[in-house]
Amino acid sequence: MENGFAIAGDYMSAASFLGISGLIALYGYDGLLYSVGFLVAWLVVLFLVAELVRNCGRFTLADVVAARMRERPVRIAAGTSSVTVSVLYLVAQMVGAGSLVALLLGGTSEAAQAWTVIGVGALMVIYVTWGGMRATTWIQIVKAVLLMGGAITLTVLVLIRFHGDFDRLLRTAADRSGHGASFLAPGLKYGGDWTARLDFISLGLALVLGTAGLPHILSRFYTVPTARAARRSVVWSIGLIGGFYLMTIVLGFGAAAIVGPDAVRGSNAAGNTAVPLLALDLGGGADSTGGTVLFAIVAAVAFATILAVVAGITLASSASVAHDLYASLRRKRPEPRSEVAGPRSEVPEPRSEVAEPRSEMADPRSEVAVARVAAVGIGAVAITLGLLARDLNVAFLVGLAFAVAASANLPVLLYTLFWRGFTTRGAVWAVYGGLIPAVALVLLSPVASGSPDALFPHLDFQYFPLQNPGLVSIPLGFLAGWLGTVTSAEEPDRARHAETEVRSLTGAGAA
């Protein structure tokens, strides 16, 4: 149960609390895609990866792949993709923090947003550096409880305002939106031409498949003692997350009906401040004590949400740098292949294929030191990008991180777990074959340039029409993994795969 709350805390980020509600308030039905996609994604995690990843891994995603591959190239590739996904996810949290504090300070001051982004990043780097996994786990649990409490309170108040009549809530939201009945129908944001419709499909694929490739979510499965506990953790988290996303629907339409889309846009063009404005109105208005108190509580919960998620992602990404990139690059001699040359008659000592190479590459103390330095570096990169992206919706930014995770991490993970003939070249190609196109397409999309809301609004190097690259980059990741395997001269290590298969399915040797 504790780990389920911690997973839910890791997952329910600023994108969930601030971003989704804001998108629903601005675009109605089309904003629901985020709520549905984020929740359905957990079925993929539950049925395909949770138990198997727990049995095969130790610290990071690369441990799972390296269990049956040549370690150095696989760890470098997986570590690179994990850090990239983590940085993109961190950017969304930084943007959410900037929007929230700018609202608290009574305006949309760019200076306030910038200093908030810097402050949040610095605070969490210090926290992760000295607190580690135990501290991060408990901040996730506390944050999940606070977030659920805040969401329940606001949902009840919205329903009381409309006397429990959800139909009346929807009709009022549609009337105030200025779009009428089309506010409650598909197509307001993702309708019209084929580019918008393809963007809709691309975003849906990214949201549903991306969760299974998020490094900070996968690392949560290594903190439980058994595979059964991993499954139960996911069941707990699905219950919590499912209830929360149902409430975001009420909050989004409540903000549209009570605050109004124009007021939401006036505060923040991307809709990131819809929920705090809703709390202010539900409490009695800007000049009332109740409104001020409720606004302050919701803002505090949202800020705690951002801090907790930043802590979890920073921890996972810095661990990947230390355990995968640093340890692999320090290796001074070729990896011994004699250990796995012949068939094995029994299950080896627990986690020997993971633990032994690790001791050759770097000792635990040096890895901890590198992880602390990496936390600072990753925080600095996320702060810089957060300053550039402060005008974008946080749920939309998380959608980009999900697309990269689904393109680079999910193909190699599924191939490793389920394809007997998968090779090291296939693993490396799967990671880079999804990662490079996903990042490149984002840079060439309307997100980076060519529009007033882009990262670089005064430049125009837009050549890819879709805002989310998932529709193209996810299939490319799977295709690259298959192509790398079938063109590889390397003979798959059947003994090592058999060992991984037994371990993943039974948990033997995974203690």
- The mean per-residue pLDDT over the stretch 311-333 comes to 73
β-pair partners for 447: none
Q: What is the pLDDT of residue 363?
A: 62
The secondary structure element, H or E, covering residue 446 is none
Q: How many CB atoms lie within 10 A of CB 234?
A: 25
Q: What is the pLDDT of residue 106?
A: 62
**Most confidently modeled of 6-20, 89-103, 247-261, 262-276?**
247-261
Residue 176, both tokens = 């105030």
Structure-model confidence comparison of residues 506 and 2, the more confident one = 2
Whole-number mean pLDDT of the chain? 80
- The mean per-residue pLDDT over the stretch 117-138 comes to 71
Supply the pTM of this predicted model.
0.81
Class of residue 347 by CB neighbours under 10 A (exposed 0-12, middle 13-18, buried 19+)? middle
Q: Which residues of 22-46 are buried (b: 16+ CB within 10 A; e: fewer)?
A: bbbbbbbbbbbbbbebbbbbbebbb
Q: Which residue has the tokens 């135990």?
A: 134
Residues in the chain: 511
Q: What is the pLDDT of residue 397?
A: 82
C-alpha 294/C-alpha 284 separation (Å) is: 9
DSSP classification of residue 16? I
pLDDT value at 497 more than 80 = no
- The mean per-residue pLDDT over the stretch 290-301 comes to 87
β-pair partners for 449: 456
Q: What is the pLDDT of residue 190?
A: 85
C-alpha 343/C-alpha 341 separation (Å) is: 7
pLDDT tier, 428 (very low <50, low <70, confident <90, very high otherwise) = very high
Least reliable range by pLDDT among 196-210, 216-230, 377-391, 468-482: 216-230
Q: What is the pLDDT of residue 364?
A: 65
- The mean per-residue pLDDT over the stretch 108-133 comes to 71
pLDDT digits (tens, 9 = 90+) for 73-97: 888 898 899 889 888 888 887 787 7
C-alpha 322/C-alpha 312 separation (Å) is: 16
pLDDT digits (tens, 9 = 90+) for 229-239: 777 888 888 88
Give the amino acid at 148.
M
Q: CB-side exposure of 441: number of CA atoms within 13 Å?
A: 25
CATH code that applies to domain 2-327+347-392: 1.20.1740.10
Of 27, 56, 25, 29, the C-alpha closest to 510 is: 56
β-pair partners for 135: none
Return the SS3 of 456.
Answer: strand
pLDDT value at 407 more than 90 = yes
The secondary structure element, H or E, covering residue 199 is helix 194-210
Structure-model confidence comparison of residues 1 and 105, the more confident one = 1
Which of left, alpha, beta for 331 (phi over 0: left; psi -120 to 50: alpha)?
A: beta
- Report the chain's terminal Cα–Cα distance, integer Å: 20
Least reliable range by pLDDT among 33-37, 206-210, 456-460: 456-460
Q: How many CB atoms lie within 10 A of CB 461?
A: 11
Q: How many CB atoms lie within 10 A of CB 317?
A: 32
Q: What is the pLDDT of residue 404?
A: 92
Structure-model confidence comparison of residues 253 and 138, the more confident one = 253
Longest dimension (CA), the chain: 76
Of 321, 435, 433, 323, the C-alpha closest to 381 is: 321
pLDDT tier, 452 (very low <50, low <70, confident <90, very high otherwise) = confident
Return the SS3 of 449.
Answer: strand
